[in-house]
């Protein structure tokens, strides 16, 4: 086909992700160009995402470029993609996942346990707020907005004792050396879709869906579909204090979820389940079942 255009945010991480997809498509003989864009999510840095419209602010401008024909596909961090896409759009491909875990970054302290009482920890995520409070209720958790480089700069300027970031972003940008501790899922459960890249297009572009099929990773797609089904059943917001993580053990998909009240006690509501999963519908059913268990346990 003629030249493919990828819509992407202009942060260093977003450009790495778009260039990664560009390289894979070029290896398959396609001519590819990037359309860099600044989104509302990138512009609004003085308020938490949960107060200004959620992570959908990171994708709306890219979807407009798709709708207007200025771009063919958009590459997203899947955890930034709303659980229900607008009518006329489709998630055409989910790629193999990078490390889905969270990471502690600190210039002075080697681990969460090493942080002194009352240490200031930065995060923009309500999920991380409730999980950190469950682990260390003594910490002072402060908002942290901006792209990955901005967050690291604020840490290095001394505004925080430590910050929590997705390990995948640090690894993709060659910054793994900044990681002091990686949290195992049992300790700090990841966000739905964390570490996975999703490629969005117009729903009617069957040519693009077929073209992107070789880049898809079925096990990742099934796992994140279950995770996103938990979030969808709990209200669909990327900005809620909810964690969901699934992984395969043989043919069984095992999923765990956790919910906490940012204004309430530090206790978490947890739920888990496992099932043989072979398609997206079965994955979604599994996720919805776990969400029902969360609600039965008091999550809302």
Active-site residue set: 80
Q: Which residues have C-beta within 8 Å of that of residue 179, sequence separation ≥ 6?
A: 103, 104, 105, 167, 170
Task: Measure the CA–CA gap between 57 and 59, rounded to whole angstroms.
Answer: 6
Helix axes 12-27, 148-156, angle to 10 degrees: 140
Q: What is the signed CA dihedral for 154, 75, 96, 177, rounded to 10 degrees?
A: -20
Q: 1: Cβ–Cβ under 8 A, 6 or more apart, which residues?
A: 30, 207, 211
Alpha-carbon span 249 to 118, nearest angstrom: 39
C-alpha span between 299 and 258 (Å, rounded): 9
Question: 3-class SS at 52?
Answer: helix
Q: Distance between CA 91 and CA 278 in Å, rounded?
A: 18
Backbone angles phi, psi at 32, to 5 degrees: -135, 140
SS3 call for 26:
helix
Closest CA to 76 of 144, 8, 158: 8
Helix axis angle, 218-233 relative to 280-296, nearest 10°? 40
Q: Residue holding tokens 């998630």?
A: 91
Query: What is the Cα 262 distance to its own chain's centre?
Result: 19
């Amino acid at each position: 086909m003629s030249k493919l255009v990828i819509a992407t945010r202009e942060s260093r991480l977003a450009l790495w992700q778009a260039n990664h997809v560009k390289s894979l498509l070029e290896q398959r003989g396609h001519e590819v160009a990037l359309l860099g864009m600044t989104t509302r999510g990138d512009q609004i840095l003085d308020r938490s995402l949960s107060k200004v419209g959620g992570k959908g602010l990171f994708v709306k401008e890219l979807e407009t470029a798709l709708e207007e024909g200025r771009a063919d596909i958009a590459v997203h961090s899947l955890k930034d993609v709303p659980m229900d896409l607008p009518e006329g759009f489709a998630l055409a491909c989910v790629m193999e996942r990078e490390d889905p875990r969270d990471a502690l970054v600190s210039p002075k302290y080697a681990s969460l346990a090493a942080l002194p009482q009352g240490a200031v920890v930065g995060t923009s995520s309500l999920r991380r707020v409730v999980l950190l409070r469950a682990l260390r209720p003594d910490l002072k958790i402060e908002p942290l907005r901006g792209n990955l480089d901005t967050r690291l700069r604020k840490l290095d300027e001394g505004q925080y004792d430590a910050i929590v970031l997705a390990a995948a972003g640090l690894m993709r940008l060659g910054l793994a050396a900044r990681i002091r501790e990686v949290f195992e899922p049992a300790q700090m459960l990841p966000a739905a879709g964390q570490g996975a890249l999703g490629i969005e297009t117009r729903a009617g572009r069957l040519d693009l869906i077929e073209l992107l099929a070789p880049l898809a990773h079925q096990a990742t797609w099934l796992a994140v579909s279950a995770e996103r089904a938990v979030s969808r059943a709990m209200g669909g917001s990327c900005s809620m204090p909810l964690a969901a993580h699934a992984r395969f053990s043989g043919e069984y998909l095992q999923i765990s979820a956790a919910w906490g009240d940012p204004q309430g006690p530090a206790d978490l509501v947890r739920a888990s389940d496992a099932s043989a999963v072979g398609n997206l519908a079965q994955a979604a059913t599994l996720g919805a079942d776990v969400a029902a268990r969360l609600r039965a346990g008091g999550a809302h």
